């Protein structure tokens, strides 16, 4: 997070809430990436006192932990699938894969978990303080992680060690953007350091047609039908198939004569 990204996001959210006729208070910590922004219409920014403890931060009461548990479980499942596939290649998760996994993990953090963590940080009325402990929301996913780790022979540490493997890394409040840029520059090879290695190309997503997508959905549908408990998966895949068909239909646009000639270089007609 940077201050410019944060301000862009806040102003976009402010316009949205203004159109909806809403008025909210957003409570923020004193991270350098959270600047004071003027001229907001529907949002009032309130900053926590400096050097506040984690007990006043709802995200520290279990929201981040719930997200990290789910993300780590996704990674471990992918690792076990890689082993079961007997692939000779090394297990690898790209930045794009990580973003996909993070999006899915965040979608599994329930509104109840978030509400409980806010209550635990006293963001509630007195009569609403009796909420379930935020840590209870991670019990099920912790049990799943423990079961997954039991299938890894060379696991270094337990599931909780893996979930908290990055707890000592600096966060945005501890390091500035300039420091990150300087660190990257220090690691960049100089023009004189020529070791013959070629630069790694940027990842390119393969082009997938609507027909390819519909065909790809068929295989997991057949897989779901082979299992007695695959009904819910089959229903989900049928919904996915409907969405793929709708997207494929909406993308069919009538081409014109100009579209045909843009395929050729103008020099070929001279």
B/e letters for 195-228, b = 16+ CB within 10 Å, e = fewer, are eeeeeeeeeeeeeeebeebeeebeeebeebeeee
Tally the domains of the chain: 3
Q: 159 and 93 share a domain?
A: yes
Rounded average pLDDT over 164-183: 62
B/e letters for 139-154, b = 16+ CB within 10 Å, e = fewer, are eebbebbeebbeeeee
User: Is 241 domain-assigned?
Assistant: yes
Task: Tell me the two tokens of residue 161.
Answer: 């060690």
CA dihedral of 12, 29, 162, 94, whole degrees rounded to 10: 30
Q: Supply the pTM of this predicted model.
A: 0.62
Q: 33 and 72 share a domain?
A: no
Q: 14 and 91 share a domain?
A: no
Tell me the pLDDT band of 135, cut-offs 50, 70 and 90: low
> Could you tell me the residue range of the domain that residue 158 belongs to?
58-163
Q: 62 and 140 share a domain?
A: yes
The kind and range of the H/E element at 67 are helix 63-84
Q: What is the pLDDT of residues 197-243, one digit of tens each?
A: 555 566 667 788 888 888 888 888 888 889 888 888 888 888 888 88
Q: 43 and 107 share a domain?
A: no
Q: What is the pLDDT of residues 252-262, one digit of tens each?
A: 555 555 555 55
Q: 66 and 127 share a domain?
A: yes
User: Is 175 domain-assigned?
Assistant: no
Q: Where does a domain end: 97, 131, 163?
A: 163
């Amino acid at each position: 997070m940077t201050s410019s990204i944060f301000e862009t996001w806040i102003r976009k959210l402010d316009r949205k809430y203004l159109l909806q006729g809403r008025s909210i208070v957003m409570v923020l910590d004193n991270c350098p990436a959270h600047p004071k922004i003027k001229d907001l219409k529907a949002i009032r920014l309130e900053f926590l006192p400096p050097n506040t403890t984690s007990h006043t931060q709802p995200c520290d009461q279990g929201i981040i932990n719930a997200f990290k548990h789910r993300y780590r479980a996704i990674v471990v499942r992918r690792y076990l699938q890689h082993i079961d596939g007997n692939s000779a290649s090394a297990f690898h998760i790209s930045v794009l894969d990580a973003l996909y996994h993070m999006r899915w993990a965040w979608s599994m953090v329930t509104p109840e978990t978030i509400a409980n963590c806010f209550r635990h940080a006293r963001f509630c009325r007195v009569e609403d303080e009796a909420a379930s402990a935020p840590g209870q929301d991670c019990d099920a996913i912790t049990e799943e992680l423990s079961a997954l780790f039991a299938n890894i022979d060379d696991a270094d540490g337990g599931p909780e060690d893996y979930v908290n493997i990055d707890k000592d890394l600096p966060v945005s409040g501890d390091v500035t953007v300039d420091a990150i840029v300087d660190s990257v520059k220090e690691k960049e090879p100089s023009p004189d350091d020529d070791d013959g290695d070629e630069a790694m190309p940027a990842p390119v997503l393969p082009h997938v047609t609507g027909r390819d997508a519909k065909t790809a959905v068929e295989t997991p549908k057949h897989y779901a039908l082979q299992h007695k408990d695959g009904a819910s998966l089959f229903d989900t895949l049928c919904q996915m198939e409907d969405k793929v068909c709708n997207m494929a239909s909406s993308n069919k646009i009538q081409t014109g004569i100009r579209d045909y000639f843009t395929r050729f270089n103008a020099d070929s007609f001279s």
